[in-house]
Amino acid sequence: MRGRQSKQADEASVDLTPMLDVVFILLIFFIVTSTFIQEEALGLEPPPPPSQAESNPDQSAILIYVGEDNLITVNGRLTDIGGVRANMERLRAENPESALIIQAHPQARTGTIVKIRDEAYNAQMTRVNIVQSES
């Protein structure tokens, strides 16, 4: 076995330069094509304190209460989500200057509150306030 010589196996090496080039090109592509928007949040400011002009009971606010079990009452009358807008429009027709206060229980579903707020904006209510109830 004189003529045979043993060769050591060449070590396998991987060139990472093309992969890094592709990664950087993809990174640049995603940065350039992405759009950045600012999302709007719900305004949760408390209603303004009543002035002497608003202390008149004829100009009272429309109160919508959303309970822990998502039952909806409009000025003390039980209703469902489909009847909220009709009740708002009826009460606003009686008193056009009235504000809308959505009072929600801490355990109430956010989706229900947002639907009521959207219905208020669809009914052209301009003074809409969302407050959290004590219990």
Q: What is the pLDDT of residues 62-116, one digit of tens each?
A: 999 999 998 999 988 999 988 999 998 898 888 888 889 999 999 999 899 999 9
Q: Report pLDDT for 58.
A: 47
Q: What is the pLDDT of residues 15-56, one digit of tens each?
A: 888 999 999 999 999 998 887 777 777 666 665 666 655 455
* Per-residue b or e along 1-16, where b marks 16 or more CB atoms closer than 10 Å to that residue's CB: eeeeeeeeeeeeeeee
Q: Report pLDDT for 78.
A: 92
Domains and CATH numbers, the chain: 57-132 (3.30.420)
pTM for the whole structure: 0.58
For the sheet with 62-66, list strands across it.
77-79, 72-74, 62-66, 100-104, 128-132
* Per-residue b or e along 84-98, where b marks 16 or more CB atoms closer than 10 Å to that residue's CB: bbebbeebbeeeeeb
Q: Report pLDDT for 21.
A: 94
| Dist CA 68 CA 35 (whole Å) | 38
